[in-house]
Amino acid sequence: MFCTGKYYDTTKAAAETGIGNDVFKVVVTLYDITNSTKDIVTIVNVGDQIKTKVFNPQDPKNEGMDKVSYTITFPNLAVEDGEAYKVCTVSAENLKMKCQAGKNSPLNRPEFVDVKVSP
pLDDT tens by residue, 7-34: 333 334 445 665 656 789 999 999 999 8
Looking at the DSSP bridge assignments, the partners of residue 84 are: 103
Taking the CA of residue 26 as centre, how many other CA atoms within 13 Å lie in the half-sphere pointing to its CB? 28
Closest by Cα among 83, 14, 20, 16 to 46: 83
Domains of the chain: 24-114 (2.60.40)
> What Å distances lie between residue 106 and 14, 57, 76, 81, CA to CA?
8, 35, 18, 5
Mean pLDDT, the chain cut into blocks of 10 residues (119 residues total)? 38 52 90 91 96 92 90 93 96 94 93 91
Q: What gap in Å lies between CA 27 and CA 59, rounded to an integer?
A: 21
Q: What is the pLDDT of residue 22?
A: 77
pTM: 0.80
